[in-house]
Structure 1
Amino acid sequence: MDKQTLIKLLAYKRWADTATLEAIKRIEPASSAKEHHLMLRLMNHIYVVDRIFRANMAGRPHGYQALNTPETPTAEALITAFRESTDEYIAFITTLSEDEFGKVIRFTFVDGGEGEMRLMDMVNHILFHGTYHRGAVGWLIQSCGGVARKMS
């Protein structure tokens, strides 16, 4: 996959994350408290994994002890956090040469295990990981009587 395609997919991810969180904001928390909380937990999980992978790509510590945080941010806070995070990914990808996408990155999982992936595979992982969980969130939105935005 070339750099311009990745940038386009990341821009789509930014739009899809925002659209999903905006749909969550329209769900009445009082009538669907458990589901509303789960939606935010799933979206926060996507965000945390995005940040872990970005830190791993940069070779810096990420500071996370798990794949989610103890606290649950608001949808509004997540909208801002996702936009900043995805903008950082786009800025990073923009600086890379095509050859750098094949670079192998070694990292430590939050459970202490060791891993390695090509940089391109790491970007693909965050793209597909987010899509997977946004699908579950969309199902939850609909189960609460909300309308999940079409992602096409």
Structure 2
Amino acid sequence: MQQTLQRLFRYKAWANDALLADLARLDAPAPRELAIKALAHTYVVDRIFAAHLRGHAHGHRAANPAVLPTLDELSGDIRASDREYVDYVAALDADALGESIDFVFTDGAAGRMSREEMLMHVITHGSGHRGQVSALMLLNGMPASKDGFTTYLHEAEGGTRRR
């Protein structure tokens, strides 16, 4: 599972990078703001779970930021967070993945998840919101970002995939 998680977090970074680059070309202000809201939410959740994984306080009172960042600010933050996750996952072993961690959700409810479950949540949560942003782009005359896992595999590992 650790190798799969490493691949998934490299994919997440690649997909986010592609989407952010495509989003920078979206000129329509209202859809751009909605896209920033969705991605800012994803970023906050990523940071909350990064803190949970390390047993640190995260300082977020909600899963959405009170003030929206600019696309440039958000892009830098997401890219730095993605690099941190790639490095974090690379350093884990099977025992660490299976360890359960107690934490508190932003609504005050108690939670307990294994590191593996938290990491899978971060992957699936981000994927869903990237899909929302791609839909916004389609609705505004732009092609959806080519951020599929199969596209990533054939681009990143082309030599082993007959490319």
TM bin, normalised by shorter chain, reads over 0.9
Give 3-state SS (helix, strand or coil) of 1:26's partner.
coil
Cα deviations across residues 68-113 of structure 1 (Å, max 9, x unaligned)? 1111112222221112111111222222211111100110011111
Q: Which residue is equivalent to 1:136? A: 132
**Partner of 1:105: helix, strand, or coil?**
strand
Q: Give 1:8's aligned residue.
A: 7
Aligned residues: 148
Say which SS state the counterpart of residue 80 (structure 1) adopts.
helix
Gaps of 5+ in 2: 152-163
Q: Tell me the distance in 2 between the aligned counterparts of 1:109 and 1:40.
A: 23
Shift of 1:33: 2.2
- When structure 1 is superposed on structure 2, of 123-132 and 17-26 the one drifting more is 17-26
1:75 partnered with 2:74: no
Give the match for residue 40 of structure 2.
44
Structure 2 counterpart of 1:116? 112
Q: Which runs of 4+ in 1 moved over 4 A?
A: none
SS in 1 for 2:41: helix
Distance in 2 separating the partners of 1:18 and 1:75: 12
- 1:94 matched to 2:93: no
SS of 2:62's partner is coil
Match of 1:129, as an amino acid? H
Specify the code of the residue in structure 1 equivalent to 2:139. S
Match of 2:99 among 92, 99, 103: 103
Normalised to the residue count of structure 1, the TM-score between the two structures is 0.92
Q: For the Cα contact (< 8 Å) 1:106–1:117, is it kept in 2?
A: yes
Would the aligned equivalents of 1:22 and 1:75 in 2 still touch at CA under 8 Å?
A: no
Give the structure 2 partner of residue 26 of structure 1: 25
Alignment equivalent of 1:150, drawn from 142, 146, 152: 146
Is the 2:18–2:146 Cα contact (8 Å) retained in structure 1?
no
- Describe the SS at the equivalent of 1:117: strand
Q: Structure 1 regions of 5+ residues with no counterpart? A: none
Give the Cα separation in 1 of the matches to 2:138 and 2:96: 41
Tell me, yes or no, if the aligned pair for 2:26 and 2:32 is still in contact at 8 Å.
Answer: yes
